[in-house]
Amino acid sequence: MLEASLTIWDNRAVTVTADDKKRVVLPSAEPGDRFDLQASGEGTFVLRRLESLQSPAPKLVKPIPYKGGWLMPGEVDMDKLTEEIVQERQRRDENLLDSSALFNALASKTASVTSRPDRRGNADCN
């Protein structure tokens, strides 16, 4: 029975009817098929099936947080980005070490200062 129904559509002369929205159904067409339509002035239409567009499958990407914003992989050279992140972290760590050394120096300096009397003559206890 299935073979008999397939042979019906092998006939090249097929009559189709347009609906209210000027659409026709082609029995051998698949969803997404593309056609080139050539219409002549004599009322003849020729449809030629075009090759389907094979779009690559979308891939999932993970945005990368960077300098208060987000970067998408592929927008930037990942090796260069990695190198910049490493350099920025090194600068941050150096600044933290410098500020902690400065803090320690100030703390030791204030600890070594002897207590001074205020205007009333009372000793200042730190």
pLDDT for the residue 115:
56
Evaluate whether 117 touches 124 at the Cβ level (below 8 Å): yes
pLDDT for the residue 69:
80
Q: Which residues pair with 38 in a beta bridge?
A: 46
Does any domain span residue 117? no
Does any domain span residue 100? yes
Q: What is the DSSP letter of 36?
A: E
Q: Residue 78: which domain range?
A: 64-112
Does any domain span residue 36? no
Does any domain span residue 105? yes
Does any domain span residue 101? yes
pLDDT for the residue 114:
53
pLDDT for the residue 5:
47
What is the model's pTM? 0.34
pLDDT for the residue 20:
93
Does any domain span residue 22? no
Cα 31 to Cα 21, 41, 44, 52, 95: the distances in Å are 18, 29, 24, 11, 62
pLDDT for the residue 117:
61
- Across 59-72, b (16+ Cβ under 10 Å) vs e yields eeeeebeeeeeeee
Does any domain span residue 26? no
Tally of domains in the chain? 1
Interatomic CA distance for residues 5 and 53, integer angstroms: 29
Does any domain span residue 55? no
Q: What is the DSSP letter of 52?
A: P
Question: pLDDT truncated to tens, each residue of the chain (126 aa)?
Answer: 445 444 555 556 778 888 999 888 888 888 888 889 888 878 888 888 888 777 777 777 788 787 778 877 676 677 887 888 889 888 888 888 777 777 777 777 666 555 566 666 665 555
| Half-sphere exposure (Cβ direction) of 17: Cα atoms closer than 13 Å | 2
Interatomic CA distance for residues 67 and 89, integer angstroms: 12
